[in-house]
Structure 1
Amino acid sequence: MRTPDTPARYRPPAAPALPGAPMAVTDAWLRNRRLSEHTRDAYRRDVAGWLAWCTACQLDPLRASFLHVNEYARALESTLSARTGRPLTSATVARKLSALSSWYDFLVKLRAVDANPVAGADRPRIDRDHSATVGLTPAEVDALLAAADADTGPTAARNRAAVTLLADLGLRVGELVSLDVTDLGAERGHRSVRFVGKGGKARRRALTPGTAYAVDAYLAQRAAAQGVTTHQLTGALLVTASGARLDRHSVFRLVRRLARVAGIPAWAHLSPHSLRHAFATTARAEGVPLEDVQDAMGHADPRTTRRYDRDRHNLDRDPAYTIWAARARRRA
């Protein structure tokens, strides 16, 4: 008898669910992709969630159809986020289904399934002109950096370096915490940093004088504490008091703590990504071409960059003014 939680058109499995242990197949799929460790972990959780749902519904994942995927998507949409206590957003559901689709594409290549059931599923519509991330104004970014400058304690120099890298380069938090000391360098007169960005792409960015100063001050303090020169430092760029790599959760807490000290009203809703949004908005407001901002942020699609630009609908930037001013100059 079909229960409310059982997917439509369920058929009992007649063969092992997957060619090998499910997570072993997932690990093989992830090894086949050029992904950051954070993305690998997220995709692994996404597939594990689908497999758990299939197990609860007594559904063989190899026999799933787009109808099952649709039902799973509806279940996700009614699931409360452990972090916010609110239903999962359309973007989160879409991301989970995207990971699942990639997983099934891998199974198709292994000839474990004939077709990808996610391909025909009804995925949530994502508004590319909207982002749920709470952004920051340039004045608020300045206030947050000032709070970092005024911070005291054994980790103050590290915290200043971390926040400055986020603000001046618009890095993703995963990119920030994955940096190693050896990623720092110099190219054609520029201080630079190299790292692996989203999608496993090698990236390089210039360090502003202010960012370079904050990083140098932190490394000098760290080297002195270890009794070595800065050139002898190894391992992660940003470390804890015990020498372990700083994790993304610590950076989240740092941003909110400094924002609270700075008196930013929305401090409790901010994240490191808020500084990334502010980077894009400020760069565009200062006249940096969209394609340059896109390249700096590592976006494959310019529409993503535009979504980060919170000031894009400001009428001050209406091109009609530019055209009118040019016409006025010609008539003068």
Structure 2
Amino acid sequence: MQKTTLIGLPTARITTNAELAAAGYLARYNGGTRETYRVSLKILWDWCGNLGVDVLDGMRRPILELFARYLEDERGNSPATVAHHLSIVRGFYSFAEIDGYIDRSPAAHIRMPRVYQDESKTLGLDRMELGSLIQSARASSPSDAALITLMGMLGLRVSEACAVKIEDYQYVERGHRCLRLVGKGGKPATIPLPVPVLRALDAAAGDRTSGPLLLRRKSGEPMNRKAAALAVRRLCKASGITKNVTPHGLRHSFVTACLDAGVPLRDVQIAARHSDPRITARYDRARHNLDRHAAHTVAAFLAGAA
């Protein structure tokens, strides 16, 4: 079977500087991140191929500006998605400059779309909703229960939850049973397992002592991101939850549950493994944006006059 490069070309055919630069850039990353970056670069590759433009030697900033318009107008990508693709492309050209393939990055001054986020809409499930979802998952199957528990009670990312193996949570450190994993950016983490979480994981493992912890209900194959998203949607429906909840929404729910339970912001940042405390602070602001909105104060102030 013929091997392919990270851009989708046979390994034996890496003959251009552009192909080698892309392979070297993507080799910096692992797993899902590498695949995500590969997809963005392939979009650029295909677009340049249709125009007859060389990705390295023929690239100029105006061409990349046209590429951004292609993402917006022809592919119909949202500003956030366009910014995502362009940031990956910009990283590629930065390293192509560092590695000496080009003199200057043509993406250095490309216009990035502004991405706005309404923090009031980023709330996850509340305590009662998350509790109901966990109950529905327990009634569904041990694997479903473990999936929801890992994301909703430990705050794991969906890729991290799907990658958990039975061997990964057999460690005992300072009296705590712990889960060890490698998270986003290749960062290792050790997470203590509360009793309800441990029970859910043991039930999902059953008599097995090794291999993937989470298995799909019908096929028995290892859980992946797509299967996890479908499971979350199905379990939310069974719980009567009408919100559009994604796997990441459960991680979001974990963070807001921590804050609502009175966990200090710094400890929540550590538990969520956020590299920047401002990320965690956004969750804290989002919880009270509507409750503390100035409109309430103004309405009360004008109550006697209006």
Q: TM-score, normalised by structure 1?
A: 0.76
Q: Per the alignment, in what secondary structure is the counterpart of residue 143 of structure 2? A: helix
Tell me the residue number matched to 1:13: none
Tell me the residue number matched to 1:121: 110
Tell me the residue number matched to 1:192: 178
> Separation in 2 of the partners of 1:61 and 1:187?
51
The yes-or-no answer on 1:173 pairing with 2:158 is yes
Tell me the residue number matched to 1:291: 266
Kept in 1: contact 2:204–2:214 (CA 8 A): no
Tell me the residue number matched to 2:126: 137
Q: Percent identity?
A: 35
Tell me the residue number matched to 1:150: 139
Tell me the residue number matched to 2:226: 249
State the Cα distance separating 1:131 from its structure 2 match: 8.6
Taking a change above 3 Å as real, the CA distance of residues 306 and 129 of structure 1, as seen in their structure-2 partners, is farther
- Residue correspondence of structure 1 range 197-212 to structure 2 within 5 A: 197-212=183-198
| Count of paired positions | 277
> Separation in 2 of the partners of 1:110 and 1:297?
35
Taking a change above 3 Å as real, the CA distance of residues 141 and 285 of structure 1, as seen in their structure-2 partners, is same
Write out per-residue CA displacement over residues 61-111 of structure 1, whole angstroms, 9 at most, x where no aligned residue: 11322222222122212355xxxxxx4232222121111122112211321
> Separation in 1 of the partners of 2:132 and 2:15?
55
Q: TM-score, normalised by structure 2?
A: 0.82
Q: Per the alignment, in what secondary structure is the counterpart of residue 108 of structure 2? A: helix
Taking a change above 3 Å as real, the CA distance of residues 73 and 131 of structure 1, as seen in their structure-2 partners, is farther
> Separation in 1 of the partners of 2:220 and 2:139?
24
| Counterpart pick for 1:92 among 72, 81, 93 | 81
Q: Per the alignment, in what secondary structure is the counterpart of residue 61 of structure 1? A: coil
Taking a change above 3 Å as real, the CA distance of residues 22 and 112 of structure 1, as seen in their structure-2 partners, is closer
> Separation in 2 of the partners of 1:21 and 1:109?
14
Kept in 2: contact 1:23–1:48 (CA 8 A): no
- Residue correspondence of structure 1 range 12-161 to structure 2 within 5 A: 20=16, 22-23=18-19, 25-31=21-27, 33=28, 35-62=29-56, 63-80=58-75, 87-127=76-116, 130=119, 135-151=124-140, 156-161=141-146
State the Cα distance separating 1:249 from its structure 2 match: 0.6
Unpaired segments ≥5 residues, structure 2:
1-13, 295-306
Taking a change above 3 Å as real, the CA distance of residues 191 and 78 of structure 1, as seen in their structure-2 partners, is farther
Tell me the residue number matched to 2:238: 261
Taking a change above 3 Å as real, the CA distance of residues 163 and 46 of structure 1, as seen in their structure-2 partners, is same
Residue identity opposite 2:136 in structure 1: A
Residue identity opposite 1:157 in structure 2: P
Tell me the residue number matched to 1:83: none
Kept in 2: contact 1:131–1:308 (CA 8 A): no
Tell me the residue number matched to 2:203: 217
Moved more, 275-284 or 103-112: 103-112
Tell me the residue number matched to 2:7: none
| Counterpart pick for 1:239 among 190, 193, 215 | 215
> Separation in 2 of the partners of 1:108 and 1:219?
48
| Counterpart pick for 2:251 among 263, 276, 284 | 276
Residue identity opposite 1:291 in structure 2: R
Residue identity opposite 2:63 in structure 1: H
Tell me the residue number matched to 2:10: none
State the Cα distance separating 1:234 from its structure 2 match: 2.0
Kept in 1: contact 2:123–2:287 (CA 8 A): no
RMSD: 2.5
Taking a change above 3 Å as real, the CA distance of residues 43 and 206 of structure 1, as seen in their structure-2 partners, is same
Unpaired segments ≥5 residues, structure 1:
1-17, 81-86, 224-229, 319-332
